Amino acid sequence: MNNCKAIQISDKIFWVGAVDWSMRNFHGYETSRGTSYNAYLIVDDKITLIDTAKVTFAEELINRIASVVAPEKIDVVVSSHVEPDHSGALREVAKLAPNAEIITTNPNGLKGLTARYGQLNYRAVKSGDEISIGSRTLQFVPTPMLHWPDSMVTYCPEEKILFSNDAFGQHLATSVRFDDENDLATVLAEAKKYYANILMPFGKQAQAALKTLGGLELRMIATGHGVLWRKNISKILDCYRSWSAGDVDERAVVVFDSMWHSTEIIARTIAEAFAAKGIPAAFYDIKATPLADIVTDIFTSKYLAVGSPTINNQMMPTIAALLCYLKGLRPVNHKAFAFGSYGWGGQSIAQVEDELKAAGCEIILDKIRVANVPTAKQLDDITQKILAL
Ligand code: FEO
């Protein structure tokens, strides 16, 4: 038993979620600053819980609720998203409040929750549906594929609060709940990393959702992860507009693996050539940087150079993992090329180029292939090719 307490975020509205300080890997996304599972309790004529938490935090969630009201009194649970970081404690809540109506989207939320938690007291809603919980109204806005088919946000017009679930969130563990109580640069960096790793494939859906939500008066965005937005709402909306439009900066990312430093030397030459051209270049030895951070930088960089030596007729498995991950994220507006050194076959470089094409990148330079160790002349040729881009 712990003595976790709710945190008031508005009149009779409380944060009752959990902070996961130790979380370091969220289905492959390295979360170096932990995360939180945000849930909200609205004390109105109908006691309403918006989302739950990962099941391992069920006790913490229930204790926070109990610090305000007996959990048995919950009348309505809004399940914005089936993914278990938000719905994981639903069964525990339903055990305490079996008559509570569980609101979810039709049909995907209903299907997903039933598959995971069995038959509970569900009520499926569609776009435009709303309920009164007393002095407040909850309006439901399904946001399919942001980022699951079932995803939904909820707007409370009387409070001007958007309960946004995954949208606008960050994997960021903090002891205080609002954007203005934290270092804004860190919050925005984590919001970008979150968008890049979770929402990048769904730019079109994000643009559609922003159009729908754009007309709402917003005093607060109560996210499903990380801090809530109250001071920098227009800033995070502007970021989402730019990110979902696929805007890229005049910037290069050079990422490589190397066996005996030859590919690394080529990578350095490429990065320095971009810099000489006036294009800032990030230089990532893939062994030293988490994939989630590398794809976050790729996300808003116009140029991408990926290098791998050849091992057993293949690219290095580290680079294969990056390209597999990147392909799934469906990046847009990137100009790319492949490079690498090799001992004999050198198959890896064409494989990298093929995967860059498959990820949707435009190939702007033919494969840079160097046998064994690059000579000064070869490095100079590479520099000239980059300068000529
Ligand atoms: Fe935070 Fe898609 O779950």
User: Residue 321 has what pLDDT?
Assistant: 98
CA of 40 to the centre of ligand 1 (A): 16
**Annotated domain spans of the chain:** 7-245, 249-387
86 lines ligand 1 (CB under 6 A): yes
According to DSSP, the β-strands at 281-285 and 130-132 are: unpaired
340 lines ligand 1 (CB under 6 A): no
Question: What spatial distance separates the first Cα and last Cα of the chain, rounded to whole Å?
Answer: 62
| CA 24 to each of CA 20, 36, 196, 311: distance values in angstroms, whole numbers, following the listed order | 9, 12, 17, 30
What share of the chain in percent tops pLDDT 70? 99
**Residue with CA at minimum distance from ligand 1 atom 3:** 83
Q: Tokens standing for 61?
A: 């969630």
Task: Give one DSSP letter per residue of 181-245, joined into a string.
Answer: GS-HHHHHHHHHHHIIIIIGGGHHHHHHHHHHHHTS--SEEEESSSPBBSSSHHHHHHHHHHHHH
Query: What is the tens place of the pLDDT at every residue in 93-104?
Result: 999 999 999 999
User: CATH homologous superfamily for 7-245?
Assistant: Ribonuclease Z/Hydroxyacylglutathione hydrolase-like (3.60.15.10)
User: Residue 214 has what pLDDT?
Assistant: 86
Q: Tokens standing for 198?
A: 């979770």
355 lines ligand 1 (CB under 6 A): no
| CA 362 to each of CA 50, 118, 189, 280, 300: distance values in angstroms, whole numbers, following the listed order | 43, 46, 27, 20, 15
Q: Tokens standing for 322?
A: 């990056």
Question: Per-residue pLDDT for 210 more than 90?
Answer: yes
257 lines ligand 1 (CB under 6 A): no
Question: Per-residue pLDDT for 365 more than 60?
Answer: yes
Active site residue ranges: 27, 81, 83, 85, 147, 166, 194, 225
Question: Per-residue pLDDT for 1 more than 90?
Answer: no
| 176 contact partners, CB below 8 Å, separation of at least 6 | 182, 227
CA–CA distance, 81 with 85 (Å, rounded to integer):
9
83 lines ligand 1 (CB under 6 A): yes
179 lines ligand 1 (CB under 6 A): no
User: Residue 3 has what pLDDT?
Assistant: 79
Query: What is the tens place of the pLDDT at every residue in 290-346?
Result: 999 999 999 999 999 999 999 999 999 999 999 999 999 999 999 999 999 999 999
Angle at 222 between CA 220 and CA 223, to 5 degrees: 135
CA of 152 to the centre of ligand 1 (A): 11
CA of 316 to the centre of ligand 1 (A): 31
What share of the chain in percent tops pLDDT 90? 99
Taking alpha carbons only, the member of 82, 60, 79, 55 closest to residue 71 is 60
Looking at this protein, which amino acid is placed at residue 183?
Answer: D
Question: Per-residue pLDDT for 13 more than 90?
Answer: yes
Tell me the three state secondary structure of residue 38. Answer: coil
Question: Do the domains 249-387 and 7-245 match in fold?
Answer: no
User: Residue 52 has what pLDDT?
Assistant: 98
Angle at 104 between CA 101 and CA 23, to 5 degrees: 105
The pLDDT mean for the chain works out to 97
Question: What is the pLDDT averaged over residues 67-82?
Answer: 98
Question: Per-residue pLDDT for 2 more than 80?
Answer: no
166 lines ligand 1 (CB under 6 A): yes
Q: Tokens standing for 225?
A: 């992860």
Query: What is the tens place of the pLDDT at every residue in 163-204?
Result: 999 999 999 999 999 999 999 999 999 999 999 999 999 999
CA–CA distance, 226 with 229 (Å, rounded to integer):
10
User: Residue 65 has what pLDDT?
Assistant: 98
Ligand 1: atom nearest CA of 166 is 1
Residue keyed to tokens 């309505």: 76
* CATH (residue range 249-387): 3.40.50.360
**Residue with CA at minimum distance from ligand 1 atom 1:** 166
The pTM score is: 0.97
CA of 145 to the centre of ligand 1 (A): 11
